Amino acid sequence: MLAGHTILRIIGRGGAATVYLARQESLNRQVAIKVLRADVEDPKVWRRFLREARTLARLSTHPHVVTVFNVGRSDDGQPYLVTEFLDRGSLGDVIAARGPLPVGSVVPVGHAVADALQAAHDLGILHRDVKPGNVLLDHDGRVKLGDFGIARLLTGQSVTTTDVIAFTPEHVAPEVLRGEPDGPWSDVYGLASTLAEALIGAPLFTRRPDERVEALLSRKLMGPPPVLPATVPAALAQLLARGLDPDPTRRPSLADFRQQLTEAATEVGAPAPLPPPSPAPAAPPGPAAVPTPAVAGATAFDDESPNAPTGGR
């Protein structure tokens, strides 16, 4: 498929792309290779694919952004993206396995993601899809933000209907659902929503079967503030409530959010490592399974994410 790489197994599959775990022979390291399906001919998908690669390349020197190694077309013409492989899966995996996470584990993750977002914003890039499934982890304790598949430059353009379909409803900001311009304030909402889910153990909002966007928007606008565990310090609870404010003008800036997250952390004490996901049940003989979200952008184009959220309002 790709010269110099040995495909080990499939680790993710969706509506438009397949993701493989591979070994890069020259450096003897594992990498993730995301390949567009041969039957996907929509030029918009290819443009989104290339946009993700270029965005990651601009941010790859940041310690909390997934590193991209290469992008191009294989000998048979299929577009591919090669990134680092993070072997522990995603924050979403940990939440699904463990439920609510300790405050001392969640706050450092928030710092890392805020740093990654700030680096992106400093380059004029919006992530637009901050969620637990895109916060990737490895066994060395590193936290990295991945999946820039629907990122865009800070141009102030309006959100299109196609954009709304591509967003993750559980974590998208209300202004996006209204079709209004998104901005750094929208990434703040996604970060606050992600941290709240980690503390609660379930999404704040789950899109119901056949629920229209307007109905989901109404619930986000009218719903009460999240009820966080009693172990969450008041300052942190207030910060998340502000980050989740339906009115983007009342949300803190990303810099203020990170600073206040640091201040709230003083009430928590020493940071704690994230608990490992529960051991997987015994599988029948065959290729070993690898957590799908460990691949940057594994669901960038997909409506068929293997990690469908549960719970929520």
One pLDDT digit (tens) per residue for the chain, 313 residues: 788 999 999 987 776 788 899 999 999 999 999 888 777 767 777 777 777 788 888 888 899 999 989 888 887 778 888 999 998 889 999 999 999 999 999 999 999 999 999 999 998 889 988 999 999 998 888 999 988 766 666 654 444 444 444 567 778 888 887 888 889 999 999 999 999 999 999 988 776 777 776 776 777 777 777 789 999 999 999 999 999 999 999 999 999 999 999 888 777 765 666 666 654 343 333 433 333 333 333 332 233 333 333 334 4
Judge: domain 91-265, CATH 1.10.510.10.
Answer: yes
**In whole angstroms, what is the distance from residue 5 CA to residue 41 CA?**
25
Establish whether 129 is a catalytic residue. yes
**In whole angstroms, what is the distance from residue 51 CA to residue 70 CA?**
13
CATH 1.10.510.10 positions along the chain are 91-265
What does the block give as tokens for 96? 């699904």
Strand-pairing partners, residue 22, are 7, 31
Q: Which candidate in 42, 76, 93, 129 is catalytic?
A: 129
| CA–centroid distance for 77 within its chain | 28
CATH 3.30.200.20 positions along the chain are 5-86+280-294
- The CATH number given to 5-86+280-294 is 3.30.200.20
pTM more than 0.85: no
- Closest to 198 in 3D by CA, of 71, 89, 107: 107
